[in-house]
């Protein structure tokens, strides 16, 4: 990681935060009517009780735009003051143009640079590393970073091992030059392509272009090796978190909030336990939103902020893992 400490460079902080989830709630009881599953199995194995589902005509950018408007307003900025827009997503509106460009259009901004970022469920942390370095370097002043997904559109609703896990939503932050104590203290990102087939959408790209055959084989839906992913997930969340703690020379006891990617309650609890982070500091909202991939961390931030649980000055540890495989962490003095 590029170490900017003590080099006289400016720091960055999160100046605005927003989130948005679709209105439609899909409960475990609803899923019982769709596949051979039960509320009890889903709660016990994942911690999920319900998730939000976008309507048929709602694309990822539609959710992202709502979250972005809120984040920009909370940063006391006008959309035109945003210099760069990064949208982390695995469910873009189209292959191209980017979802970030669609968001830019809706915001009425025509001066920013805009691009999408593909790092699956670690996308927000990857985006934060870019936004942080761009602001610290002085290249940009105000960066809109969004994690947004409509995973319901790529979920195989006949596959009980995956369809119970995912949900739709968007979270957004504005990253700006730090003025006071609040700042992004570190961001670490990692990947290992060896495990690329643990979690994937095999069809629809250049490897298996969309054909009648690929559709019949359901290749355009998410496929996952659940057990393998589970084991690697715990290890990578712990390793990424330790990298943040060691880099900042702090102990887990100094963390006020641990916000992990919201994939599975058992994964998060196992990681927190290994890190010695007490249960009351662990943020869980997957019971209400499921796994929203790149959106899960910014949605969790927005969710606890609106509940009054995210105080300025709090030491917040973010950690994520996802397809790729990718993983990473960020330490923030909120």
Gap between the Cα atoms of 33 and 253, Å rounded = 44
> Are the CB atoms for 169 and 77 separated by under 8 Å?
no
* Residue 115 engages ligand COA in binding (rule: CB under 6 A): no
Gap between the Cα atoms of 178 and 180, Å rounded = 6
Question: In the range 167-206, which residues lie near ligand COA by CB under 6 A?
Answer: 199
* Residue 121 engages ligand COA in binding (rule: CB under 6 A): yes
How many of the chain's residues bind ligand COA (CB under 6 A)? 21
Question: In the range 5-34, which residues lie near ligand COA by CB under 6 A?
Answer: none
| Shortest reach from residue 291's CB to ligand COA, in Å | 6
Three-class DSSP labels, 169-218: EEEEEEEEECCCCCEEEEEEEEECHHHCCCEECCCCCCCCCCCHHHHHCC
The one catalytic residue in 87, 121, 136, 163 is: 121
| Shortest reach from residue 125's CB to ligand COA, in Å | 12
* Residue 319 engages ligand COA in binding (rule: CB under 6 A): no
**Tokens read off for 57:** 């005509």
Contact code string over 55-94 relative to ligand COA, x by CB under 6 A: ----------------------------------------
- According to DSSP, the β-strands at 12-20 and 143-150 are unpaired
Q: Which residues pair with 327 in a beta bridge?
A: 190, 321
The one catalytic residue in 136, 261, 264, 285 is: 261
> Are the CB atoms for 289 and 169 separated by under 8 Å?
yes
Asked if 264 is an active-site residue, the reply is no
- List, by residue number, the catalytic residues: 121, 261, 291
| Interface ranges with ligand COA (CB under 6 A) | 37, 41-42, 45-46, 121, 160-161, 164, 199, 224, 226-227, 229-230, 233, 263-264, 267, 291, 322
């Amino acid at each position: 990681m590029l170490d900017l400490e003590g080099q006289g460079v400016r720091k960055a902080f999160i100046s605005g935060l927003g989130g948005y989830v679709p209105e439609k709630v899909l409960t475990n009881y609803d899923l019982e009517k769709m596949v051979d599953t039960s509320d009890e199995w889903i709660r016990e194995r994942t911690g999920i009780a319900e998730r939000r589902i976008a309507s048929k005509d709602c694309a990822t950018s539609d959710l992202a735009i709502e979250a972005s408007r809120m984040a920009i307003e909370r940063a006391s900025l006008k959309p035109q003051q945003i210099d760069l827009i990064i949208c982390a997503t695995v469910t873009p509106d189209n292959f191209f143009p980017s979802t970030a460009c669609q968001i830019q259009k809706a915001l009425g901004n025509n001066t920013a640079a805009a691009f999408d970022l593909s790092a699956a469920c670690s996308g927000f942390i990857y985006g934060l590393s870019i936004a942080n370095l761009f602001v610290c370097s002085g290249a940009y002043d105000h960066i809109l970073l969004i994690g947004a997904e409509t995973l319901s559109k790529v979920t195989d609703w006949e596959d009980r091992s995956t369809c119970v896990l995912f949900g739709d939503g968007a979270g957004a932050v504005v990253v700006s030059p730090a003025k006071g104590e609040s700042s992004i203290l570190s961001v670490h990102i990692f990947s290992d392509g060896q495990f690329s087939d643990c979690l994937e959408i095999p069809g629809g790209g250049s490897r298996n272009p969309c054909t009648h055959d690929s559709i019949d084989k359901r290749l355009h839906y998410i496929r996952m090796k659940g057990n393998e992913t589970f084991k690697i997930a715990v290890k990578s969340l712990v390793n990424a978190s330790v990298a943040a703690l060691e880099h900042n020379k702090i102990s887990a006891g100094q963390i006020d909030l641990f916000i992990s990617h919201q994939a599975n309650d058992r994964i998060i609890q196992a990681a927190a336990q290994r890190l010695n982070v007490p249960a009351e500091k662990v943020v869980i909202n997957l019971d209400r939103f499921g796994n929203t991939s790149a959106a899960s961390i910014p949605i969790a931030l927005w969710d606890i902020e609106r509940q009054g649980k995210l105080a300025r000055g709090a030491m917040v540890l973010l950690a994520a893992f996802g397809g790729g495989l990718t993983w990473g962490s960020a330490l923030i003095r909120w």
